[in-house]
């Protein structure tokens, strides 16, 4: 940049600008004006580099996007309408393979570090090893009504991205570190009406588990630009950051299911934003997850891969994009792999990250696929809140709590055929 600026004014280099020949070839006034112009450009250069760049969107991407959509329409044989069970088996295998982890998942290693009395529930600090022999910290909240003799339903909470890497599980459960508390309270105020949702669920009688995704909280924090470095190093080792994160979620579900105070068949996953995406891909593959709630993240691939789409414009996509997957499955199809497990999608009509038209079209496809499974209509719901953006506020939280408190009966697609509908999907225009 410096060399370009000086050559613009006829100097071969920075040193030639101050060399005696140059000084004698120009008048003092010209030299001084030229120096001011160079100084101004040098000062502005970092500011210009820091400005938001326009999307780089070559024509090749449009061609590849069209090809992707054509392939998605005919990936599996048979199609879900003619044989949903076989379609679902093929889809689950494809999703699992896209995680780039061929080895069997290891047994989760865990040890409890401490226990705090929080009034109506216990707060336990655990260390766990999920995929690698590296310890990480998790929070387990246990209502005092939950015992091995009286097990209670549980919720695995999956945190958002939000480009805030200093927080992970502390977005759901307030940190014990007082220095981190103001930031966590700010985050809760920005997105959750000031509430720590994990604590509210524990007070309502749910066993709650929350952990940090790699790069966040105690497993970071990384800088925004370091996501590329982290993802590249995974790819260099034949792995995927998105796949690694998804598999850790599966291991967390297994750890939660192993707790004696957790009621078998009553484990839900709940996530906001990036966490919502992780919810339904987890429900698709984990035998331990019986229901899922995703807030603020659901759409179609085509709607999110425009120049300004959520997949296209940020490094957060490294946590979401599985190599080759979207040439075979679209987002609502991935969610449908969870059928007939109950799924609730909660969206804001004014969410700038999730185009509303794409949300409704994706849900229509998801609902159709659940019908192919034979699942009752109430098992998949979409609630779009008017005049709300990218948030999970107290009104939404109350709706989700009521939904979680329903007692679901575990069914397979074969078992669900012919079952009566409990209620109509709740779609608020």
DSSP line for 57-91: --HHHHHHHHHHHHHHTT-SSS-TTT-HHHHHHHH
Identify the CA nearest to 318 among candidates 216, 207, 167: 216
Both tokens assigned to 201: 């669920």
Residue 72 lies in a domain: no
C-alpha 320/C-alpha 261 separation (Å) is 32
Residue 59 lies in a domain: no
| C-alpha neighbours within 13 Å on the C-beta side of residue 119 | 6
Mean pLDDT, to the nearest integer, of 25-46?
45
Within this chain, do residues 358 and 407 fall inside the same structural domain, yes or no?
yes
Within this chain, do residues 135 and 229 fall inside the same structural domain, yes or no?
yes
Place of tokens 């410096």: 2
Q: Name the strand (E) or helix (H) holding 188.
A: helix 181-191
Residue 109 lies in a domain: yes
Q: Which has the minimum average pLDDT: 43-47, 298-302, 390-394?
A: 43-47
3-state secondary structure of 327: helix
Local confidence band at 411 (pLDDT 50, 70, 90 cut-offs): confident
Both tokens assigned to 84: 């949903």
Last-in-domain residue among 50, 69, 86 = 50
Within this chain, do residues 366 and 271 fall inside the same structural domain, yes or no?
yes
pLDDT tens-digit readout, 258-278: 999 999 999 999 999 999 999
Rounded to two decimals, the pTM is: 0.84
Q: What is the pLDDT of residue 4?
A: 45
By percentage, how much of the chain surpasses pLDDT 70?
Answer: 81
Domain that holds residue 204: 77-416
Backbone angles phi, psi at 412, to 5 degrees: -100, 170
Output DSSP code: residue 214.
Answer: T
Identify the CA nearest to 153 among candidates 206, 198, 204, 202: 206
Average pLDDT, the chain: 85
Residue 369 lies in a domain: yes
Within this chain, do residues 44 and 178 fall inside the same structural domain, yes or no?
no
CA dihedral 363→325→163→42, nearest 10 degrees, is -130
Within this chain, do residues 12 and 126 fall inside the same structural domain, yes or no?
no
Within this chain, do residues 235 and 273 fall inside the same structural domain, yes or no?
yes
Residue 399 lies in a domain: yes
Identify the CA nearest to 425 among candidates 342, 354, 336: 342
Identify the CA nearest to 410 among candidates 340, 343, 345, 344: 340
Both tokens assigned to 422: 């409990």
The number of distinct structural domains making up the chain is: 2
C-alpha 286/C-alpha 231 separation (Å) is 24
Say whether the peptide bond before residue 260 is cis (omega within 30 degrees of 0).
no
Within this chain, do residues 34 and 145 fall inside the same structural domain, yes or no?
no
Q: What is the pLDDT of residue 376?
A: 76
Cα distance from N-terminal residue to C-terminal residue, the chain:
52
Q: What is the pLDDT of residue 428?
A: 47
């Amino acid at each position: 940049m410096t060399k370009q600026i000086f050559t613009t004014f006829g100097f071969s280099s920075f040193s030639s600008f101050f060399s005696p020949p140059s000084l004698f070839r120009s008048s003092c006034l010209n030299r001084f004006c030229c120096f001011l112009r160079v100084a101004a450009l040098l000062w502005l250069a970092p500011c210009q580099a820091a400005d938001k760049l326009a999307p780089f969107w070559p024509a090749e991407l449009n061609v590849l996007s069209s090809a992707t959509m054509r392939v998605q329409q005919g990936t599996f044989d048979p199609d879900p309408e003619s044989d949903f069970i076989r379609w679902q088996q093929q889809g689950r295998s494809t999703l699992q393979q896209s995680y780039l982890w061929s080895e069997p998942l290891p047994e989760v290693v865990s040890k409890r570090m401490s226990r705090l009395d929080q009034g109506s529930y216990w707060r336990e600090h655990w260390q766990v090893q999920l995929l690698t022999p590296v310890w990480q910290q998790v929070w387990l909240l246990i209502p005092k009504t939950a015992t091995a003799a009286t097990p209670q339903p549980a919720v695995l909470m999956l945190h958002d991205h939000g480009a805030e890497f200093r927080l992970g599980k502390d977005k759901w459960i307030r940190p014990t570190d007082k220095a981190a508390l103001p930031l966590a309270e700010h985050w809760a105020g920005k997105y959750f009406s000031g509430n720590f949702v994990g604590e509210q669920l524990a007070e309502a009688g749910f066993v709650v588990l929350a952990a940090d995704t790699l790069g966040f909280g105690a497993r970071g924090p990384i800088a925004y630009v370091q996501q590329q470095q982290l993802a590249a190093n995974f790819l260099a080792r034949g792995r995927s950051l998105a796949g690694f994160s998804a598999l850790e979620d599966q291991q967390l579900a297994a750890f939660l299911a192993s707790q004696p105070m957790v009621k078998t068949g009553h484990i839900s996953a709940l996530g906001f934003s990036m966490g919502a995406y992780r919810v339904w891909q987890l429900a698709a593959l984990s035998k331990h997850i019986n229901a899922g709630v995703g807030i603020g993240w659901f759409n179609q691939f085509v709607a999110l891969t425009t120049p300004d789409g959520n997949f296209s414009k940020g490094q957060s996509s490294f946590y979401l994009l599985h190599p080759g997957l979207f040439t075979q499955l679209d987002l609502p199809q991935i969610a449908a792999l969870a059928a007939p497990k109950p799924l609730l999608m909660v969206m804001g009509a004014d969410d700038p990250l999730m185009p509303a038209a794409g949300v409704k079209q994706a849900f229509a496809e998801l609902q159709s696929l659940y019908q192919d499974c034979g699942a009752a209509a109430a098992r998949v719901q979409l609630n779009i809140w008017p005049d709300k953006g990218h948030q999970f506020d107290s009104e939404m939280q109350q709706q989700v709590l009521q939904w979680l408190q329903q007692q679901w009966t575990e069914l397979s697609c074969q078992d669900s055929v012919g079952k009566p509908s409990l209620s109509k999907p709740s779609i608020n225009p």
